[in-house]
Structures are given as C-alpha cells and as structure tokens.
Amino acid sequence: MRTADPCVLVIFGASGDLTARKLIPALYEMHRAGALPAKFQVLGVSRREKNDAAWRDELALSVQKHAKGWDAAAWSNFATCIHYFAGDAAQGEMYRALAERLGQFDAQDGTRGNRLFYLSVGPELYESIVQRIEDASLVTEGKRWCAIDRDERSWQRIIVEKPFGSDEASAASLNRTLGRVFEETEIYRIDHYLGKEVVQAMLVLRFANTIFEPVWNHQYIDHVQITATETVGVGNRTAFFDATGAIRDMIQSHLLQIFAFAAMEPPTVYGAEDIRAEKIKVVKALRATNASDIAAHAVLGQYAASEQEGAYHQLPGVSAGSTTETYAAIKLHVDNWRWAGTPFYLRTGKRMAKKRTEVVVQFKPPAANLFRGVAQSAGEAIGNRLVMEIAPDERTRLRFESKLPGTPFRIANVEMQVDFDKEFGVEPVEAYGPLLVDAMRGDQSLFKHGREVESGWAAVMPFLGSGSSDIRTLINANYAQGSWGPAAADEMMARDGRVWHNDE
C-alpha cells in the first residue's frame, strides 16, 4: 500500500466542533497507529485570536474525551505538529500570510509543497475560499508532473465536507468552481460513513464470497432497506436543520453512499477509479420519481412533543409553519439489469425508537413452499434475510430456516452472526482517520466523484421540489418521539406487501 506523503493539512474553520470532536481525535489515533507521514503538520485557520499552545491545550481535552486510547506521551509527541493561524478565510489579504507560513513548513519540516486543504466551514463559504486559494497561487497546477521521481513532485488537494450543494443546480455550480482550481483527481468529497468498517466490508462480503454474488440481483432479492435513525433530536442545530431537512442531511449523502456499495456492479479490480466508476453508474441509474408517484414513494414527518422536548415545529430557530422533515422514508428503483423491479427503501429520522444504521437485504421466499403445511415457530417463513449493522454495533447477521429438534415436525428461524469487535478483537477507530490518510496517499476509493454527487441530487429532487408539497402539508407532528416514525410509512410498506425491519 502506498504510504502517505509528507504534507501540511490546512483546516479552514479550525475552531469549529468538527475539528475538535472528529478531525484531531482521528489524526491522533492515526498517529498512534503509525499511519501518518513522518513529515506532517496541521495548520488550523480560524478568526479567533490564539496561539499554538492555547489551541493544543483545548484539543488535548477534546482528544481525551473523543479518541480511543488516551496516552499523554503519545499526545505530547503528536501535538508538536499542531499549529494555529489566526485569519479570516473570507478576506483575500489573509492568504498572502498563509502562503508564507506554508512556505516555512516546506523549508523547516520538509513538507515539499504538498497541501491538503480541508473545508470545515459553512457550505456558503466553499466557493469563495476555493477562489481565494487560486488567487493566492496556492495551487501549482501541472508542476507535480515536472519531475520523473514521485518524491520530487508536489500536490495540492482539497477535502470538501457535505453538504455538496443544496440541490442539483448548486451542486453543479460547486463542482464547476472546484474544477476551475483543482483537477478531479485532487478533489476529495468526504463522507465519513465510508470510513466505517462494515460499509467497506460490504464489498468483501459481496465480491469475495461466491455464495452471495450469484443471488445478488432481482431474481432472488425481494427488496433492500437502508436505515439510519437516531434517538436524539436536532439539538442546537435548529437553524441549520430547518434549512436542510432529513433528505438533504442524510439520504442524499450518507444513505446514497451506502446504497451505491450495496447495488454497484463488481469493479474490475479493487482500485479507486474502478470503484468510483461503478458507483457513478449505479447512482446514475436511479429512476427519477414522477410527480404523480411522489405520494406513493415517500413519507415525511416531524416529531411531536414529549415530556422532555417540544415538538419540532415549536423549537427555537424553527420557522413558523415549517414543513422541514425530521423523518423521511423514500422508495427508489434502479433501472438496470441487476435490479429491475427490486425496490430500495431508504429511511432516516430524529427522535426515533432506537439508534440504528443498517442495510437489510430481504431475499424472496422459495419459489414453491414445500413446507406450507408445517407449523412455523415464529410466524410464516418470509425468506432469508441478511442484515449488515453499521451502528451502534458492527456486525453481520444471516437469517435462515431450520427444523426444530424433536417432534412434531416444525420450522424455526435461526441466525448466523459475526460481531466485528468480538471476532477480530480490534476496536473501531474514528472513521475520519483512515479517510484523511487516504487523501494524503492520493487514494480516492472512498470519496465521491462530482458526477456521482449530481446524479444523487437528481434522484432525490422530486421529494424536495414543488411536487412534494402534498406530502409536506401532512408532516406537522405526525409521529411520536421514541416511535418508529409516521404510521403512513408502515402503510407505504404494507401496500407493497412488506414491513420495516424495526426490532431484533
């Protein structure tokens, strides 16, 4: 595996919550694992005035709280590469001083002009920061090809956090802005869900086991459910969430990424270009939902009041008469040979019964029910089921039918299960860590391509545009906190002769 190159990680918005809770703890874990390059520096850019020592002290407390395996000596060693730069990223003159500081790293620490810019700021600042990076000549396009020896080349890459636009048009605009400054090979649209072990293990499950790939199609699979639910509400993010909603926040980004891994065709080899090419194709194959079918293909909701918290529409920061969804369940179809007629159900919600992120592959029942007269111990046989749990547990479960010992002749449901923690004895690390190291290595396997982003927006736009007004008028406080969502979502599945996978 290619090692990570020497570089400076420049974090715009370094005083934000993401840096403290996720990025620095993830980098600390990678440092302890020996995955970071020997010549590596972090430069946090933010408007607040502070020095390196003060920022390091703040981050030490956060790492103790959020990282795995606190070690004071390891932190002291890692902290020497953390630096702070006070400046307003919206002001062009700041970038001249930033360029000088980056040059000092090259001269003193051997970072060779390699820059990894991280946009940990509000999405409204993305395009202006990218433009100012270009204006300050911080991207030396083409120079990385001047030397034959890879060790003499320099590169400049950029990591962009979601949301990648707020709709199809804004996503295309952002892609154009990024493309004017960076090559597509240097743009890393990050989705931390792809850093989770079970999501990546999905490719191994599918393509390294001959018992699965032959039946991974519409002939044998009845439907697929992809769920990401939380027991918490929107917290102090009401202003952001009310302008975003569950579809934009979760389905268009995280769940479509999981969908792509579950539905893509086999790549030729396990390589970044091959994997991304197949993901692009399957997301592009998603059928656009007709306006007349929206009500039958989607259910939206807002959580009602409870003793602990008011209803969503009553929260401070939520606009009067808001129709922003805290719950969404949508049905999508893929127009290709593998999945013709097989629906994919994607759902997400706040204040739900359980915290759960999983993929459920429901297989069709046998073509002929040989045992239709035999008693079932747990209801009627419904076919095999494969459940890939991503959070809070990381495990895979396969359900099948078996004969109960003894007489009379009876059938029961049984499961085989692999728990990643128990089986491999490795505690999972923060998902951002391996992704950051991949960006330093130049590996885009687990990052989104621009075309994939735009195709994903095209698939969900019918549920966000004016055609969704009918289902939005029905969402006000239409599900109880601690439930599995609106009753209409169960009715949508019942019309298709299916049920949600809610309980164990």
C-alpha–C-alpha distance, residues 156 and 149, integer Å: 17
- Nearest CA-CA partner of 222 in 501, 434, 32, 3: 501
Distance (Å, whole) CA 452 – CA 276 = 8
Domain spanning 194-495: CATH 3.30.360.10: yes
Please report the pLDDT score of residue 151 as a whole number. 56
- State how far the alpha carbon of 350 is from the alpha carbons of 230, 233, 317, 484, in Å: 5, 5, 17, 10
Please tell me the least confidently modeled range out of 5-9, 19-23, 319-323, 370-374. Answer: 370-374
Above 80 in pLDDT, residue 382?
no
Cα–Cα distance for residue pair 30/23, rounded to 1 Å: 11
Read off the pLDDT of each residue in 247-269 and give the average, rounded to a whole number.
94
Question: Exposed, middle or buried: residue 198 (CB in 10 Å: 0-12, 13-18, 19+)?
Answer: buried
Cα separation values, 371 from 157, 269, 412, 482, 490, Å: 59, 42, 12, 38, 29
Mean pLDDT of the chain: 91
pLDDT given at position 279:
94
* Chain-centroid distance, C-alpha 357: 11
Element containing residue 61 per DSSP (H, E): helix 52-66
Task: State the Cα torsion 325-326-327-328 to the nearest 10°.
Answer: 40
Mean pLDDT of all residues in 29-51: 94
What are the pLDDT digits (tens) for 387-426? 999 988 889 999 988 888 877 887 888 889 988 888 887 6
Does pLDDT of 150 surpass 60? Answer: no
Residue 201 — very low, low, confident or very high, per pLDDT cuts 50/70/90?
Answer: confident
pLDDT in tens, 20-39: 999 999 999 999 999 999 99
Q: What is the mean pLDDT of residues 330-341?
A: 97
- pLDDT, one tens digit per residue, over 63-117 is 999 998 899 999 999 999 999 999 999 899 999 999 999 999 999 999 999 999 9
Q: Which residues contact 3 (CB under 8 A, 6 or more apart)?
A: 37, 441
- Residue pair 36/76 in contact (Cβ under 8 Å)? The answer is no
**In the chain, how long is the greatest CA-to-CA distance?**
83
What pLDDT digit, counting tens, does each position of 443-466 carry?
A: 999 999 999 999 999 999 999 988
Tell me the mean pLDDT in the region 339-367: 95
Q: Which residues of 210-249 are buried (b: 16+ CB within 10 A; e: fewer)?
A: eeeeeebebeebbbbbbbbbbeebbeeebeebbebbbbbb
pLDDT band at 371 (very low <50, low <70, confident <90, very high): confident
Query: Sign of the C-alpha dihedral, residues 125, 128, 131, 136?
Result: negative
Q: Which CATH superfamily is domain 7-161 in?
A: NAD(P)-binding Rossmann-like Domain (3.40.50.720)
Percent of residues in the chain assigned helix, strand, coil, to nearest 5: 40, 20, 40
CB-side exposure of 483: number of CA atoms within 13 Å? 19
Nearest to 289 by CA among 332, 345, 343, 227: 332
The phi and psi torsions of 388 (rounded to 5 degrees) equal -110, 105
Of residues 83, 192, 223, 254, which has the active-site annotation?
Answer: 254
> What's the pLDDT score for residue 412?
80
- To the query of whether residue 254 is one of the catalytic residues in this protein, the response is yes
First to last CA, the chain: 39
- The pLDDT assigned to 146 comes to 46
φ/ψ of residue 42, rounded to 5:
-115, 130
The predicted model scores a pTM of 0.91
Give the model's pLDDT for residue 2: 67
Per residue in 155-186, pLDDT (tens digit) is: 999 999 988 989 999 999 999 999 999 999 99
Q: Pick the closest to residue 395 from 221, 201, 113, 112 (CA basis).
A: 201
**Amino acid present at 297:** H
Domain boundaries, the chain: 7-161, 194-495
Per-residue pLDDT, 148: 43
Mean pLDDT of 461-474: 90
| Amino acid, single-letter form, for residue 333 | H
pLDDT of 429 above 80: no
Residue 381: the pLDDT is 55
* Site of tokens 């179809």: 333
pLDDT for 434: 92
Report the sign of the C-alpha dihedral through residues 189, 287, 387, 251, in that order: positive
What pLDDT is stored for residue 301 in this prediction?
95
Check whether the bond before 37 is cis (ω within 30° of 0): no
Half-sphere CA count of 223, side-chain side, radius 13 A: 17
**Cα-based distances in Å from 32 to 23, 36, 192, 217, 340:** 14, 9, 20, 42, 47
Name the percent of the chain lying above pLDDT 70. 94
Q: What's the pLDDT score for residue 96?
A: 94
